[in-house]
Amino acid sequence: MSQPPPQPHQTTPAMTINELFDKLSKRHDETDKKLDDMSEKIRDLKRAQTEFAQRLEIVERENGALSSAQAELQDSFLKLQQTTKSDINQFKSDIMEERERTKRLNNILLLGVPENDEGLVLANSIIKELLPGVNINLNNNLRIGRENTDGRVRPLRLILSNPAERNLALNNYYALEDKNHFNGIYLKKDLTKLQLSLRKLKTTDQRDNFSQPHDNRKRRREPDSSPTLPSKRTAAGCADSSQRTSQPMEN
């Protein structure tokens, strides 16, 4: 099999210097344009990055302010919750105190009543003296507190029909000048623990105010510049002396 004859060698035409320079200039312009475009994109990216940083700073400040406001709101809520809880507890305590005071409005306490039958007989006689015509049955079940082993006598609670009877009994008791036949038994109001504490505090304040030192030094009397009238004794003395001098001397 025969081979094809060899083709003759083809040569490309050589570029002139001007064409090469134009080509390089064109590529250089394209490169400059690409660099300008890239520089513009970099500037845009930097501007965008700066704007993003500024927005991020604003967001962080707002987030900090929001966190601070949230903390203050939470703190206010906790304080309000505590105050409300305290107010509710105080309101409940006030209601219980008012109920307890209302329940004791009809009561009288008898102190010093021996815890035996003779003591009850004596207490009944005292109540009949203070409230004539009122039938009251006293018993040791109305004692206040636990039974004492040291011999101390517990108060005896007397429950009357209404506050008017209580006030009448107390007024009659306070009006009595001679209480020797009561044998050391005395009456007082049936007060709550809060009332007793307030009364004790008031008594202490009054005692403190009374015990404060007072300036008992005599005030020095300042001389009076106004003309003073002579006293009756001085005027009488002057009159007697004038009469003696006006009488003639006896030889």
pLDDT in tens, 119-160: 888 888 888 888 888 887 777 778 888 887 787 899 999 888
Burial pattern 169-208, b for ≥16 Cβ within 10 A else e, equals beeebeeeeeeeebeebebeebbbeeeeeeeeeeeeeeee
Q: How confident is the model over 171-226, as pLDDT tens digits?
A: 988 888 777 777 788 889 999 999 989 988 888 877 777 666 555 444 444 444 44
Residue 186 half-sphere exposure toward CB, CA atoms < 13 A: 8
Q: What's residue 227's pLDDT? A: 44
pLDDT in tens, 35-90: 888 898 999 989 999 998 999 889 988 888 988 998 999 999 999 999 999 999 99
How open is the CA angle 125-131-134, to the nearest 5 degrees? 90
Q: What is the mean pLDDT of residues 26-32?
A: 86
pTM attached to this predicted model? 0.51
Instruction: Report angle CA 148, 154, 159 to the nearest 5 degrees.
Output: 145
Residue 234 has pLDDT above 50, yes or no: no
Strand 186-189 with 156-159, pairing: unpaired
CATH for the 107-204 domain, from 3.90.1150, 2.40.160, 2.60.40, 3.30.70: 3.30.70
Q: What mean pLDDT comes out for the span 16-32?
A: 84
Q: pLDDT: is 18 or 242 the higher one?
A: 18
Residues 6+ apart with CB under 8 A from 101: 192, 195
The pLDDT value given to residue 163: 92
Element (H, E) at 202: helix 193-211
Closest to 111 (Cα-Cα) out of 142, 65, 67, 149: 142
Report d(CA 123, CA 158) in Å as an integer: 10
Quick one: pLDDT at residue 202? 85
Q: What residues does each domain of the chain span?
A: 21-103, 107-204
Separation between Cα atoms, residue 102 and residue 163, nearest integer Å: 10
